[in-house]
Amino acid sequence: MKHVMALAASGLVLVACGSETQTAASNTPSFPEARPDVVEDRFARLALTCVHQEYPNKISHVLQGDGDVRPPRELYPAFYGCFDWHSSVHGHWLLVRILATDPDTPMRSAIESALSQSFTADNIAGETAYYLQDGRRSFERPYGLAWFLQLVAELEESDDPLQREWRETLRPLETAIVEQIQAWLPNLAYPIRLGTHAQTAFAFGLMIDYARTTGQTELERQLIAKVLDFHAGDENCPLAYEPSGEDFLSPCLMEADLMRRVLEAEEYADWLSAFMPDIPLDGRGDWLAPGVVTDATDGKLVHLDGLNLSRAWALEGMASGLPETDPRRSALLASAERHSAVGIAAVSDEHYSGSHWLGSFATYLTTQRGL
């Protein structure tokens, strides 16, 4: 409820978007009106607008020859919208998530139509063929791949016949991605502690959730072994050095949110004491300041809006991993609420630099997907 109130108080109207400098006005697709008290309706409209919007587009594409010079829709026939491949993937995840958490959403017909357009056998065959081409082993690894597996996990949990059909349609690409990840993990000698796409802590968390949902026990075993090898002995994470100027993931908080997935509550409490020894015991929420965005038209600086959202869900996750009586829970949840209010208020359609992806982060938070 606090997430709903935060955006309602901001008075934002989230509708369709065009270019990075375009505000809600012309060329707006026709979607149902968002219910004023349901923020996820507004997030859904953002995703519906961009999942089949091809331009502007930032492709992640290694050219193997002249024949590889092609438009996004030919490179990525399912996930060519929303500015880049990973944002398209989690935009599709957002829409599936809305169907799962709000079966009566007025967006259902529009969502099902959009997803049916994307999730065809031919489109996924094209995606799989692209992914398996020589020179693409690191494509969207690990961030985009983690979001794709999260999309599969969402569909795996559904009993809806149409969603079960989509889940099977995605299976060839899923199989290729899992095989590539399992081949990569033994070769990864060090964690990647960045605050952006390459970070392993965030990706490993989503991958573990996927593996548990789909019964991928060997992938889960590999991931947990790697997580413990990388992080079991970590101490004194330098939270005071965060955030960097373009972060959308906190290296410290995402690692802590990851570790609660692989440790029992008491063990996690001890680990967190060593890793983040300065979490307050008095329940205050001002011990960690939200990131500040000074130019929402700048696609890199606006990352900090996403940081506030991902910090909020990480803080909630950390609290959920501790024993009920742990005195740090109140401070974690208070800071989560503070970051959530700032983060959700920043989600709008005004600039495509943020609107093409922030709705997914907001939906992950407000629907408590990671908990």
Q: For 193-230, how does the pLDDT look when each residue is reduced to its tens digit (9 = 90+)? A: 999 999 999 999 999 999 999 999 999 999 999 999 99
Q: pLDDT (tens digit, 9 = 90+) per residue, 128-184?
A: 999 999 999 999 999 999 999 999 999 999 999 999 999 999 999 999 999 999 999
Taking the C-alpha atoms of residue 47 and residue 155, their distance in angstroms, rounded to an integer, is 17
Percent of all residues in the chain with a pLDDT value above 70, rounded to a whole number: 92
The whole-chain average pLDDT of the chain stands at 93
Contacts of residue 124, defined as CB under 8 A and 6 or more positions apart, other chains included, come to 78, 169, 170, 172, 173
Q: pLDDT (tens digit, 9 = 90+) per residue, 7-32?
A: 433 333 333 333 333 333 335 568 99
Q: Following CA atoms 318, 321, 324, 326 in sequence, which dihedral angle do they give, to the nearest 10 degrees?
A: -60
Q: How many domains does the chain have?
A: 1
Per-residue pLDDT at 343 exceeds 70:
yes
Whole-prediction pTM = 0.92
Contact call for residues 71 and 54 (beta carbons, < 8 A)? yes
Asked whether residue 327 is assigned to any structural domain, the reply reads yes
Asked whether residue 371 is assigned to any structural domain, the reply reads no
Q: pLDDT (tens digit, 9 = 90+) per residue, 56-82?
A: 999 999 998 999 999 999 999 999 999
Q: Give me the residue label for tokens 């919208």.
A: 81
Per-residue pLDDT at 333 exceeds 80:
yes
Tokens representing residue 18 in the block: 């065009």
Q: What is the domain extent for residue 167?
A: 2-366
Residue 28: the pLDDT is 55
Asked whether residue 173 is assigned to any structural domain, the reply reads yes
Asked whether residue 138 is assigned to any structural domain, the reply reads yes
Residue 30: the pLDDT is 80
Q: What is the mean pLDDT of residues 342-371?
A: 97
Q: What is the mean pLDDT of residues 299-307?
A: 98
Taking the C-alpha atoms of residue 42 and residue 270, their distance in angstroms, rounded to an integer, is 40
Residue 27: the pLDDT is 52
Asked whether residue 43 is assigned to any structural domain, the reply reads yes
Rg (CA), the chain: 20
181-194 in b/e burial notation, b at 16+ Cβ within 10 A?
Answer: beeebeeeeebbbb
Residue 68: the pLDDT is 93
Q: What is the mean pLDDT of residues 282-310?
A: 98
Percent of all residues in the chain with a pLDDT value above 90, rounded to a whole number: 91
CA distances from 169 to 78, 88, 329 (A): 11, 17, 41
